[in-house]
Amino acid sequence: MSMEFLFEQGPRVLVTVKILNGAMDNVDLSPQKSFTLRCNEKCQFVYDWCEAYSHRLPTGELHLDWRSLTRFQTGVLQALTEIPFGETRTYKSIAERCGSPNGYRAVGGACGINPFPLFVPCHRVLASDGKIGGFSQGLELKHELLEFEQG
C-alpha cells in the first residue's frame, strides 16, 4: 500500500509513503510547486500526521518499521523524534544523547540513511558550527523545512 500527500500549506513537498503490514516502511520526498492534497489508498495515521504537521500542530506517534537498521542507527533516529518542532540539535549532541560522544560522524551516517525523512526529522540536525550539513533529500528542501518550522 502506498500513500501520497501534497501539503496544502507548509513545505512544498510531495510525501510518498510505502506502508507494509500497517507500519511505515519507506518515505520519499519530492519538491513540488503547488499545495493540492492528493492521497492514494489513504492510511489514516499517516494522513493525520501530515495534516497536523502542515498546520503546525502536535503530530503524534507513527508506526515505523525499524528492522532494516542497526541498533545504533535506530537509537539515533529515535533520538531525532524527540527534537521538538521548530528546534534543532547538533550531530554532536545527538551522539552524546546516544552514549557515543565522539560518534557525531556516525550520527550523520544514520541521518543519511534515514528511511523516514520528515517523519523522523533528520533535517533538524545541524553541524556544531551552525552550518546546515547534509540532507538525503537535498539541501534546498532542508532549508525549506527548517524555515517552515521556525517561521
Catalytic residues: 122
- 60-65, long-range: CB within 8 Å, 24+ apart, which pairs? 62/24, 62/116, 62/119, 63/22, 63/23, 63/24, 64/23, 64/24, 64/116, 64/119, 64/120, 65/20, 65/21, 65/23, 65/24, 65/25
Pairwise CA distance, residues 120 & 64, whole Å: 9
